[in-house]
Copies of this chain bind each other. A is one copy, B any other.
């Protein structure tokens, strides 16, 4: 956990700009699609963010987990609901998920201390 959420977001934004600026049509379309698929449809935005979060957990990607934890909190998902998402991810994905769960927990603490979603 070497960087804060602010640093995470800054690196994310800078690199996204570099990637999109490189002008590869497939890559740019994929990024657009990635944004689109979490917009509310027949399923609400909070459900979709929880789907993104549990997928990130079982695939064990810390950056993706951080991103979806933030988005879940913004969409109104409660801490108790997040724990149930974590529970499904943990049972499906096994103990190998635990280190990522620890870092997800640290991110939730960080969000609470920032006063944004506590």
Do B16 and A102 have beta carbons less than 8 Å apart?
A: yes
**A115 on the B face (CB < 8 A):** no
Copies of this chain present in the complex amount to 6
- Closest CB-CB distance, A61 to chain B, in whole Å? 5
Secondary structure dominating the interface of A = helix
- Chain B residues whose CB sits within 8 angstroms of the CB of A55 once the complex forms: 54-55, 57-58, 88-89, 92-93, 96
**A24 on the B face (CB < 8 A):** yes
15 pairs of residues in contact across A and B, judged by CB atoms under 8 Å: A1-B11, A12-B102, A22-B105, A26-B84, A26-B90, A27-B86, A27-B87, A27-B90, A30-B91, A43-B81, A47-B47, A58-B96, A92-B95, A93-B93, A93-B96
